[in-house]
């Protein structure tokens, strides 16, 4: 599964850097409806799940949903068939609005059996049939059965998202990953609707939809998509294919369907080459749904993506690459997660790390997007490294995840990017053929069942002949990251000795073995830079590893550790190489090598080892000639973020002007209508203070040749003008009237929150902390527009209000949406010791919601770094 909008990294980066989490302590509650109704929702502990798995064996859920009534509720009748230990008792997760009937083996169950989000059963037989009829409530938080009304045409759409413990919001369920069952769905839907689900369609007649039973799947993998959606169909290698989206996006889907189908087919062919078991779930449908919390979710037979991935405006090649990567990632889950599912959430990495690794690899191998590892080095690993250095760091494969709420806290850059990076190094160590052989043995042993870390390691050990126990202990069981530094001594123009010095933080002192490439880059007589040589080195865990192959070698202009990006570590160049970066970096032909250097540079600024002034000077020197779009986008975005937080109020304007100049130079040098031009334009819009120029672009004046000022670029321009005070409510309302779409509605919410006046801030803050009727996406967009470094004076009172009001917000929003709103609403641009003092006071509360605790703890750590860099 891909996680959703990038925390702190901009509206258009859909899956980078988000922590998705839910965890409750002290009278846990969850808002279950659009009216703010509160019910108790107990978390499922691992011990409860283990006991329940020894008590019951679930066979089938037979579900009939009636979604024809207007309003916030729907009807549900569910029959659950399961075996049990005779005479035993158990429980199911269940959160009804009203129960109409409960019968166990034909006998009524007392109404009091439903309490605190659970349905408790006693006196079980060996064979059991539980029949429940109830009224359930739609969600507006992206969980349960989410209901969405398109602001443009008024069409209503539903999608079901039961992850991670939301099954009880739709049906009574044994909601844990190791109690797999078959799901059979029938739905009564309004006339004119279509319905799709995991199972294949059996019958459709006058609003009645019936689907075939699925293969055994976990409860969190059962889904549906319903509404008057548009569909494109195809077929490949005997697999029926379909793509669905809202009617409002029909024309855009029609234009993009061929590319999506092509990537889907290419990925299927590659996975079928790699895996002995063919795709095991019949048809393969891909639905692009509104307001999905994640970038996508790997439902077998019906993958659901957030519908921003059906592009309505011009996009860069890196955005198209991103979509291809997500498609490949979710398809990998058909084997890693769906066919073979983790037994419990401590083995989440068996799902996400493998899908992350294989999605990146397969997209590079078979699609037109060959540089996905460059994107991985720039974006994904940076996300993993930041998460791994936060106070909330955890192992890739924790020894214990105590409950389902804690499990959600681990959906982060560690479980995705760090895990994938360790797998990349593992493949380099054991060899690709043994790696694939081990995976196939693993699938054969556990198909349609569940598995653990020990199961997978056993299969890989058998296939490779290598004992992976020590590797797993170092890389999977211990948190935090190592730093690798080049230590160089010279004898004239030759290396007397090159050593790699490895360090670890005091609180996590583990040193690890690393296999790395070391690249020697020289300026050639023709003015280019060439890689003269790349040597591979095994860095041991001693702390200092000499590289004999480089003794006596002619010293390079730039020596690059981790050339090829084989290992997961922070990289620091030697002093001479660092000094050479401004002149050498722009001329290196290998985009992955450039990405490693840029990532190292940005990380050094985050750590306070290099200044923002040095960074913006390098950006001005090197970025205008950068050809890789993802590097352009990430460097501009990351630099802008660092300037906003690490530069002082006195130095920020000059630093921001240098960022704008670099984007402007890149814009002037870019081919009209190309990806670099669009990336440069977005970077310029975000950094410039030339509002007259921006206003001219909106009016069609002075627009660079080839640049389309389309819907999304218009909103980006207007947003910047609103922040700078040169556009207001009237302009926002006029733009929304012109673009009355789902995306327009979200941009309007963000723009209104960015207005620099007290009245607008008060309205936006009330919406963020107190409006339970606001959908997940609109709440997030409002929060993302609120804090602006140009508006510190009007925002100062809201620093204290964040710490006072966020605990209340956590009581009216549910997990993923609550976490994201709390994160976006954090006063990160208010870099002041007072912000940290207030954070410490909040963190001292014993009753603090653990989601909020994690958000504040990690954001405060980021603020600590910013303060250190400033002073």
DSSP readout, 633-696? HHHHHHHHHHHHHHS-TTTHHHHHHHHHHHHHHHHHHSPTTSHHHHHHHHHHHHH---HHHHHH
Instruction: Select which of 330, 406, 628, 780 is catalytic.
Output: 330
What is the token pair recorded at 438? Answer: 């081990």
Farthest-apart Cα atoms in the chain, separation: 91
- Give the Cβ contact number of residue 478 at 10 Å: 17
Helices (H) and strands (E) in the chain, counts: 28, 31
Question: Encoding tokens for residue 566?
Answer: 């084989």
DSSP 165: T
Which H or E run includes 145?
strand 144-149
| SS3 readout for 346-413 | HHCHHHHHHHHHHHHHHHHHHCCCCCHHHHHHHHHHHHHHHHHHCCCCCCCCCCCCCEHHHHHCCECC
Report how far residue 580's alpha carbon sits from residue 429's, in angstroms, rounded to the nearest whole number.
32
Alpha-carbon dihedral of residues 11, 14, 19, 24, nearest 10 degrees?
Answer: 80
How far is it, in rounded angstroms, from Cα 386 to Cα 399? Answer: 22
* b/e 145-184 (16+ beta carbons within 10 angstroms → b): bbbbebbbeebbbbbbbbbbbbbbbbbbbbbbbbbbbbbb
Whether 330 sits among the annotated catalytic residues: the reply is yes
Q: Is 647 left (phi over 0), alpha (psi -120 to 50) or beta?
A: beta
Q: In what helix (H) or strand (E) does residue 65 lie, and over which residues does it extend?
A: strand 56-66
- DSSP bridge partners of 65: 76, 187
CA distance 498 to 280: 51
Q: Nearest CA to 161 among 223, 99, 104?
A: 223
Supply angle C-alpha 852, 862, 846, rounded to 5.
Answer: 30
Q: What is the dihedral of CA 463, 467, 469, 471, to 10 degrees?
A: -90
Q: Are 127 and 96 in contact (CB under 8 A)?
A: no
Which H helix or E strand runs over 386? helix 381-389
Structure tokens at 779: 């709440």
d(CA 103, CA 101): 7
**Which residues are identified as catalytic?**
330
């Amino acid at each position: 599964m891909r996680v959703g909008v990038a925390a702190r990294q901009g509206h258009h980066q859909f899956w980078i850097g988000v922590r998705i989490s839910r965890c409750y302590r002290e009278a846990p509650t969850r808002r279950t409806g659009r009216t703010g109704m509160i019910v108790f929702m107990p978390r499922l502990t691992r011990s409860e799940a283990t006991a329940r798995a020894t008590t019951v064996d679930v066979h089938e859920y037979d579900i009939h949903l009636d979604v024809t009534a207007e309003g916030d509720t729907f009807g549900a009748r569910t029959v659950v068939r399961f075996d049990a230990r005779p005479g035993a008792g158990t429980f199911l997760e269940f959160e009804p609005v009203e129960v109409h009937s409960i019968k166990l083996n034909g006998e009524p169950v007392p109404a009091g059996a439903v309490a605190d989000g659970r349905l408790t059963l006693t006196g079980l037989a060996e064979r059991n049939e539980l029949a429940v009829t109830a009224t359930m409530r739609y969600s507006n938080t992206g969980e349960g059965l989410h209901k969405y009304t398109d602001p443009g045409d008024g069409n209503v759409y539903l999608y079901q998202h039961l992850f991670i413990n939301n099954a009880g919001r739709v049906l009574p369920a044994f909601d844990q990953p190791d109690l797999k069952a078959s799901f059979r769905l029938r739905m009564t839907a309004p006339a004119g609707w279509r319905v799709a689900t995991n199972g294949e369609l059996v019958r459709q007649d006058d609003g009645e939809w019936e689907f075939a039973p699925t293969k055994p799947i976990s409860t969190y993998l059962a889904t549906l998509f319903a509404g008057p959606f548009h569909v494109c169909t195809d077929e490949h290698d005997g697999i029926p294919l379909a793509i669905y989206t809202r009617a409002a996006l029909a024309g855009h889907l029609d234009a993009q369907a061929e590319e999506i189908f092509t990537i889907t087919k290419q990925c299927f062919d590659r996975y079928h080459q790699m895996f002995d078991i063919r795709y095991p779930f019949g048809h393969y449908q891909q639905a692009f749904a509104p307001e999905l919390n994640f970038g996508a979710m790997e439902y077998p037979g019906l993958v659901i993506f957030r519908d921003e991935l059906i592009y309505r405006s011009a996009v860069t090649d890196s955005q198209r690459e991103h979509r291809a990567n997500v498609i490949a990632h979710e398809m990998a889950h058909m084997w890693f997660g769906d066919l073979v599912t983790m037994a419990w959430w401590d083995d989440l990495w068996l799902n996400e790390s493998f899908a992350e690794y294989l999605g990146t690899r397969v997209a590079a191998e078979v699609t037109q997007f060959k540089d996905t590892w460059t994107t991985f080095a720039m974006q994904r690993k940076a996300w993993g490294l930041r998460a791994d250095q936060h106070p909330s760091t955890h192992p890739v494969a924790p020894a214990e995840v105590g409950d389902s709420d804690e499990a959600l806290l681990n959906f982060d850059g560690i479980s995705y990017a760090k895990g994938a990076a360790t797998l990349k190094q593992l493949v380099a160590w054991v060899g690709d053929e043994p790696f694939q052989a081990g995976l196939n043995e693993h699938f054969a042993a556990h198909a349609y069942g569940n598995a653990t870390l020990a199961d997978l390691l056993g299969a890989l050990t058998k296939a490779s002949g290598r004992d992976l126990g020590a590797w797993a202990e170092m890389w999977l069981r211990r948190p935090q990251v190592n730093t690798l530094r080049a230590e160089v001594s010279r004898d004239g123009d030759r290396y007397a000795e090159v050593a790699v010095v490895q360090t670890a933080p005091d609180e996590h002192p583990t040193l690890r073995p690393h296999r790395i490439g070391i690249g020697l880059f020289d300026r050639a007589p023709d003015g280019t830079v060439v890689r003269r040589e790349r040597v591979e080195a095994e860095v041991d865990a001693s702390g200092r590893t000499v590289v004999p192959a480089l003794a006596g070698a002619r010293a390079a202009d730039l020596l690059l550790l981790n050339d090829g990006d084989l290992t997961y570590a922070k990289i620091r160049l030697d002093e001479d190489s660092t000094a050479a970066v401004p002149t050498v970096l722009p001329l290196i032909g290998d985009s992955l090598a450039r990405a490693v250097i840029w990532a190292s540079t940005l990380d050094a600024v985050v750590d306070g080892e290099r200044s923002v002034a040095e960074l913006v000077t390098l950006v001005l020197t090197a970025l205008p000639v950068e050809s890789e779009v993802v590097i352009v986008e990430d460097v501009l975005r990351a630099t802008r973020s660092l300037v906003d937080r690490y530069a002082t109020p006195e130095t920020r304007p000059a630093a921001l002007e240098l960022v704008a100049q670099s984007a402007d130079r890149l814009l002037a040098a870019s081919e009209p209508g190309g990806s670099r031009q669009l990336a440069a334009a977005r970077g310029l819009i975000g950094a410039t203070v030339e509002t007259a120029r921006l206003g001219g672009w909106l009016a069609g004046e002075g627009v660079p040749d080839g640049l389309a000022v389309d819907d999304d670029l218009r909103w980006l321009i207007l947003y910047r003008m609103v922040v700078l005070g040169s556009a207001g409510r009237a302009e926002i309302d006029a733009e929304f009237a012109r673009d009355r779409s789902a995306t327009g509605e979200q941009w309007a919410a963000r723009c209104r929150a960015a207005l620099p006046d007290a009245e607008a801030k008060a309205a936006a803050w009330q919406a963020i902390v107190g409006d339970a009727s606001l959908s997940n996406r609109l709440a997030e967009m409002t929060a993302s527009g609120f804090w602006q470094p140009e508006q510190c004076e009007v925002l100062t009172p809201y620093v204290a209000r964040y710490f006072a009001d966020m605990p209340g917000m956590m009581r009216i929003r549910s997990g993923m949406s609550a976490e994201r709103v709390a994160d976006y609403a954090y006063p990160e641009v208010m870099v002041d010791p007072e912000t940290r003092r207030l954070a410490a006071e909040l963190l001292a509360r014993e009753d603090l919601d653990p989601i909020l605790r994690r958000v504040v703890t990690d954001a405060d750590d980021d603020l600590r770094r910013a303060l250190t860099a400033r002073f």
